[in-house]
Structure 1
Amino acid sequence: MAATDAVKPGFLTRLSFGIGGAADGIKNNGFDYALLFFYSNILGVDAGLVGAALMIALAVDAVSDPVVGYWSDNLRTRFGRRHPFIYAALIPTAVVYFLTWNPPAGLTANELFPWLVFTTIGVRLAFTFYEVPSSALAAELTQDYDERTSLMSLRYFFAWFGGLTIQILLFRFLLVPTEETPIGVFNIAGWNTYGLISAFCILGAVLICGAGTHSHIPNLKSPPAARQLTLGRIFREIFETISNPSFRALFLATLCGLVATGISATLNQYINTIFWEFDNTEIANLTMGVYISAILALIIAPIVGKTVGKKRGAITIGILAFTIAPLPVILRLLGFLPPNGSPELFPIILTITIFDLSLIIATQMLMGSMVADIVEDSELQTGRRSEGIFFAGISFIRKLSQGAGVFTASIVLHVANMSQGGGAAAATEESVRSLGWGYAISLLTAWTLMIICISFYRISRESHADNLARLKALQSGQDAS
């Protein structure tokens, strides 16, 4: 097959690969922010059972993610290694996600638990078949150091854009009050419609990703030579692959970064409504600001990666991001910001939030591109290209770390005496201060650990170029023999 370093994907290919990220963004947004609320608060399933269903699905992921990653690294078909998985996942991803939000009418409350287990496992499996091989394409479509940053930046941009758009659609336009349902969030028909629209959007994103990159199949990397595979050999090769030092560094950095994301996502509503006392319109405007953040990140990440390199760029803007994020809270606690309700406060917080979130997203983009660069480094060590395994590992740690962030946030709420709810009216001055300090300190701790982990990543622009040169020399020697 042709060498992928001689082929750079054009604009439509890059766009197709990026749009593929919208499927993951829609699914992750629904599972992270709405699934627990829908099944427990709306349908009456015990919250503990909802959590149990998600943990059962996570246990399945622990096996399916590395298996699919390894399988897609070694598959031999006329359609290459990745695209058969993408096409196989096309219908299941949409159908099972639709079923998650459209449970059988005859089941109520805890009777829905088996259905929830079935659909959550189905969604996780279907998306594993799509997400792992399609993400691995970033390392195959090009070997260019900066082009990979461009690809992953588009992927993360559309993930954020797609997830946010569907979330706004749900809460602003679908969950509307009716005569029978005066409180909009209890409008079951709105949730059902959300499932349908999301399913069609996921179907479209997966189809665009597969079809838009299909023409590159002849230029993608071939699987390793056929060999006798046993269960022991498979797992031995998987562990040999993930022992790469740079992968370990990114794996742990991703874990710490997503713990911080979980803390922020869980406490964000408390900070906005209780700490800042923003009204619904102001909170909606903060949410809309994410669009601007995603656009800025799409510009920032490639420029930073090209200027100072991915590792240094991720560390630099990561430090800025974790410094800026809790800064307004700390300034308020120290008495340096205008009081709640003043006209100056919201513009200050909105501006800082938009800029800071753009840095956080840009850091994610650079780290995603850094995963792709591990592939050649590992190939020199093992003799195998293992894009699927690397992206499967990152995919799994994202799912695993979600709960850790929520758990940390729950401790902050407990210490602040806010775990029982009650809103701003029930919050004392002392509890608000505890919330602020807990939020700031937990974020600073998680992000500091993330930056420390990134510092152990070993691949630079120069070492990546050296890896490519050594692989090319090895290939030339094999061809000559």
Structure 2
Amino acid sequence: MYAAKEAAYTMFVLLFYTQVLGLDGSITGAMIALSLFWDAISDPLVGTWSDRLRSRFGRRHPFMFASILPLGIAFYALFAPPASVVESTAGLAGWLLFWSLWVRTAVTTFAIPHLALAADLTDDYHQRSKILGGRMGVMFLFAVLLPAIGLLALFGENDGVDGRFVAANYPLYGALSCAVVWLAGSISSFGTLKAARPAASLPAAQFSPSSPLSLLRDLFRTMSNKRFRLLATYEIALMVAYGIVATMNMLVWTYTWGFDAQSVSIILSVPSLVAVALVLLSLNLLGRHFDKTQQLQLAMAGLVVNALWLYPAKLLGWLPSDGTVIFALNLLFMLFFMYCFMLRSVVTQSIVADISDEHELAHGIRQEGGFYAAINFINKLATVAGPVYTGIAMDVIGLPAGATPGEVDPVVLDRLIYALGVGVIPGFVIALFVVFKIRMREEEVTEVQAALRARQQGNADVAAAHGLGHNAPPSPAGDS
């Protein structure tokens, strides 16, 4: 679900609305950015609400089931604006904004509860990383395979015309996205239904009556954790930079390197598939030698180093002219980038699960949904920062709408690379600096979990002594 949204907004939405439909780049970016304001409300609302929901399907699954059908419809509509809408700048901008809001709402309703399930599955320090690694691997596979399949099957060259610039191809991609989210969402929701944590195993304060004020208090309480504030700061810097990379990739692959749709699909998919396997295979090895925060530092250092060789070499004229070599260098660049980015994604989410344990010990209530809502909202900055920055950059550097590869002035192509560097490198460097301030050792997590188990056992003993069954009173550290 989330992966399909990432694929749509980082790979196709900006290209479709600007270069194909002719909407101004700044307007396109602004419409996508406006939808983020709704995320600022819906993400924490869904997260904190799902923390406290009591139902026979658990806390998370009612939200997940409710989002599947609307999200599929929204994906199709996003890529199929009617002719009457396309003819009007205001109408096209409004269409993009409306369906972006719809997509974001449905993704939020599914993704945050689904992500929060990870903390319910295990409290083992290393096992959490493995579970989240599997989840992240599947997500990235969909995020790259969906657009890669689209590029191969729908956007290939036909009679000398690049399919990426043919408007009629995009509703088919919307239909493909619709089918994928309906299938994947249903499988995931039904497949994890048994993982719903029983209400009896949660603190009594978990299900105290909710109100807008209590939900707001829950939200602010999550930000009281210093480690989480640092983690959120690093995520903001990184995801803004990543959004720019992901959005501008399609432009630099198309115009700077001159790759066709088939070549782009290979660069997009093959390194990511290999990176997924390498991350999953290396988690055990890394876990034996480094704690999670050290793994995070290694991954971020790798991203910074990787940003400093391919494109600077291109500007300096150091790269060979052989197209095969250029293609291979881009594959290598993407492989290292995707490995480091995926590794840090897995570790970050695993640390959030550990922080939720620390939070429960301090406040007597589990708020995985609130923590993951904040991280999910920050991740969405990528799908907004990328199109906004890229849309403005396209106007500033003078990339003409509707231009095809080979028609763009070399000076503009150099500006495109500079725009990529200016947008990306500062965010990577800031994220690396903040990451070195985050520390959470395995021993600390183990101590927190032992204290939680002792508290739960103590509450169970008190409840049994008073004949209260599962209605044990909250612990002294409970929500008050």
TM-score range, shorter chain: 0.7 to 0.9
Match of 2:61 among 72, 83, 86: 83
Pick closer, same or farther for the CA change 1:219–1:317 going to 2, 3 Å.
Answer: same
Secondary structure of the residue that 2:151 maps to in structure 1? helix
Aligned with residue 130 of structure 2, among 127, 150, 166? 150
Alpha-carbon spacing, 1:132–1:302, altered in 2? closer, same or farther (3 Å): farther
Aligned length: 455
User: Are the equivalent residues in 1 in contact too, given 2:319–2:326 (CA < 8 A)?
Assistant: yes
Question: Which residue, out of 44, 61, 81, partners 1:66?
Answer: 44
| Aligned residue among 165, 169, 186 for 1:207 | 186
Output the CA distance in 2 between the equivalents of 1:386 and 1:245: 16
Q: Residue in 1 aligned with 2:173?
A: 194
Seen in structure 2, the aligned counterparts of structure 1 residues 105 and 250 have a Cα distance that, compared at 3 Å, is: same
Pick closer, same or farther for the CA change 1:436–1:47 going to 2, 3 Å: closer
Deviations 1:71-129 (A, max 9, x none): 00000111110111111222222222233233446543333444433322221111111
**Equivalents in 2 of 1:100, 1:411: separation in Å?**
21
Matched with 1:248 is: 229
SS at match of 1:366: helix
Unaligned runs of 5+ in 1: 1-22
Match of 1:360 among 325, 341, 348: 341
Deviation at 1:39, TM superposition (A): 3.4
> Are 1:92 and 2:70 an aligned pair?
yes
Q: How does 1:107-122 map to 2 (within 5 A)?
A: 107-110=85-88, 111-122=91-102
SS of equivalent to 2:433: helix
CA, structure 1 residues 283+38, in 2 after alignment: closer, same or farther (shift >3 Å)? closer
The match for 1:168 among 142, 148, 152 is 148
8 Å Cα contact 1:153/1:302 also seen in 2: no
- 1:126 aligns with one of 100, 106, 110: 106
Farther off after superposition, 228-237 or 454-463: 228-237
The list of structure 1 runs, each at least 4 consecutive aligned residues, that deviate by more than 6 angstroms after superposition, is 410-415, 421-425, 431-434
Contact 2:230 2:438 in 1 (8 A): yes
Residue of structure 1 equivalent to 2:299:
317
Instruction: Tell me the equivalent position of 1:452.
Output: 433
Q: 5+ residue gaps in structure 2? A: 463-480
Larger RCO, structures 1/2 (Cα 8 Å, 6+ apart): 2
| Partner Cα separation in structure 2 for residue 260 and residue 323 of structure 1 | 14
1:109–1:171 Cα change, 3 Å:
farther
> What percentage of aligned pairs have identical amino acids?
28
Q: Which moved further from structure 2: 450-459 or 133-142?
A: 450-459
Shift in CA distance, 281/104, structure 1 to aligned 2, threshold 3 Å: closer
Q: Which range moves more in the overlay, 217-226 or 197-206?
A: 217-226
Task: After superposition, give the CA deviation of every residue in 1:33-66 in whole Å (9 maximum; x if it has no partner).
Answer: 2123333444455555544432332221111110
For residues 330-479 of structure 1, the aligned pairs below 5 Å read 330-331=312-313, 337-341=318-322, 344-405=325-386, 417=397, 419=399, 427=409, 439-440=420-421, 443-479=424-460
3-state SS, counterpart of residue 103 of structure 2: helix
Q: Does structure 2 conserve the Cα–Cα contact (< 8 Å) formed by 1:176 and 1:187?
A: no
Question: 1:29, CA displacement in angstroms?
Answer: 1.0
Amino acid at match of 1:90: I
TM-score (norm 2): 0.84
CA distance 1:57–1:351, shift in 2 (3 Å):
closer
SS of residue matched to 1:54:
helix
> In structure 1, what is the equivalent of residue 16 of structure 2?
38
- Sort the Cα spacing of 1:276 and 1:186 in 2 relative to 1 into closer, same or farther, 3 A: closer
- 1:113-171 CA-to-partner distances (Å, cap 9, x unmatched) read 44433322221111111011001001111111111111211222122211222212222
Q: Aligned in 2, Cα 1:48/1:405: closer, same or farther, shift over 3 Å?
A: closer
Q: 1:273 to 1:60 in 2, by over 3 A?
A: closer
Partners of 2:399 and 2:408 within 8 A in 1: no
Measured after TM superposition, the shift of residue 381 of structure 1 is 1.9
Question: What residue in structure 2 maps to residue 12 of structure 1?
Answer: none
Whether the 8 Å CA contact 2:43–2:373 is kept in 1: the answer is yes
For residues 50 and 224 of structure 1, do their structure 2 counterparts lie closer, same or farther at Cα, with a shift above 3 Å needed? farther
Q: Report if aligned partners of 2:25, 2:391 keep a CA contact under 8 Å in 1.
A: no
Preserved contact between residue 26 and residue 392 of structure 2 (Cα < 8 Å) = no
CA distance in 2 between counterparts of 1:176 and 1:384 reads 52
| Larger mean Cα displacement after TM superposition, 28-37 or 69-78 | 28-37
Report the residue type matching 1:379 in the other structure.
E
The 1:109/1:294 distance shift into structure 2, 3 A limit, reads: farther
What amino acid is the match of 1:174? L
User: Could you tell me which residue of structure 2 aligns to residue 258 of structure 1?
Assistant: 239
In 2, the alpha carbon distance for the partners of 1:116 and 1:308 equals 45
Letter matched to residue 296 of structure 1: L
Once the 2 structures are TM-superposed, how far is the Cα of residue 405 of structure 1 from its aligned partner? 4.5
User: Aligned AA for 1:85?
Assistant: F
Using the TM superposition, give the Cα deviation of residue 257 of structure 1 relative to its aligned residue in structure 2, in angstroms.
1.2
Counterpart selection for 1:297 from 279, 301, 321: 279
In 2, Cα distance between equivalents of 1:263 and 1:58? 16
